[in-house]
Amino acid sequence: MTASCALCEPSPLLTLWQDDFCRVVLLNDVDYPAYCRVELKEHVKEMTDLAPIDRARMMKVVFAVESAMREIIQPDKINLASLGNKTPHVHWHIVPRFDGDKHFPNSHWGEATQSGKQPEFSLSVLAALKTKIAELIPCALSS
Ligand SMILES: [Zn+2]
């Protein structure tokens, strides 16, 4: 744990799934309502600092979240990103993208290209996403 690391603190965000290893949170981003992040619970800087089995575990969770998004909200594209320049604590951004969204086709961190917004997702759709994530992650981890 690092005193200045936000990801070492309990998350203030809605947790969609977690175990002792990592958690999946919903970022509640106004432009990207289904934007999720997978956060390792231990303060580790790089994926290659993890044992190979834990690297694989992290990616199984990331891919399970991606699969849940594809099934429930059917985005045009999903962006996966791991930067950590500001927060050097292993985490993956999982960003469903739609070709009418504000930054498409740029990164969602890039320059806005249009005034478009993503589709609105009702609470029931986000609840369905949470349910699907909770269904797919244990399956992925047991395979
Ligand atoms: Zn940390």
Q: How far is the CA of 96 from the centre of ligand 1 (A)?
A: 25
Tell whether 6 is covered by a domain. Answer: no
Q: How far is the CA of 41 from the centre of ligand 1 (A)?
A: 8
Provide the CATH number for the domain around residue 128: 3.30.428.10
Q: Residue 2: its pLDDT value, please?
A: 56
**Total tally of structural domains belonging to the chain:** 1
Q: How far is the CA of 3 from the centre of ligand 1 (A)?
A: 8
pLDDT digits (tens, 9 = 90+) for 93-142: 999 999 989 999 999 998 888 887 778 888 999 999 999 999 999 999 99
Tell whether 31 is covered by a domain. Answer: yes
Query: What is the residue-averaged pLDDT of the chain?
Result: 94
Tell which wins on pLDDT, 10 or 119: 10
Q: How far is the CA of 9 from the centre of ligand 1 (A)?
A: 8
Tell whether 112 is covered by a domain. Answer: yes
Q: Which three-class secondary structure string do you get for the chain?
A: CCCCCHHHCCCCCEEEEECCCEEEEECCCCCCCCCEEEEECCCCCCHHHCCHHHHHHHHHHHHHHHHHHHHHCCCCEEEEECCCCCCCCCEEEEEEECCCCCCCCCCCCCCCCCCCCCCCCCHHHHHHHHHHHHHHHHHHHHC
d(CA 68, CA 84) in angstroms, rounded, equals 24
Residue range(s) defining the domain that contains residue 76: 12-142
d(CA 132, CA 107) in angstroms, rounded, equals 26
Tell whether 107 is covered by a domain. Answer: yes
For residue 66, give the nearest of 81, 54, 51, 49 by alpha carbon.
81
Q: How far is the CA of 16 from the centre of ligand 1 (A)?
A: 19
Tell whether 49 is covered by a domain. Answer: yes
Asked if residue 10 has pLDDT above 80, the reply is yes
Q: Residue 35: its pLDDT value, please?
A: 96
Asked if residue 3 has pLDDT above 80, the reply is no
Q: How far is the CA of 97 from the centre of ligand 1 (A)?
A: 27
Side-chain half-sphere exposure of 87, counting CA atoms within 13 A: 19
Tell whether 109 is covered by a domain. Answer: yes
Asked if residue 26 has pLDDT above 60, the reply is yes
pLDDT digits (tens, 9 = 90+) for 54-93: 999 999 999 999 999 999 999 999 999 999 999 999 999 9
Tell whether 70 is covered by a domain. Answer: yes
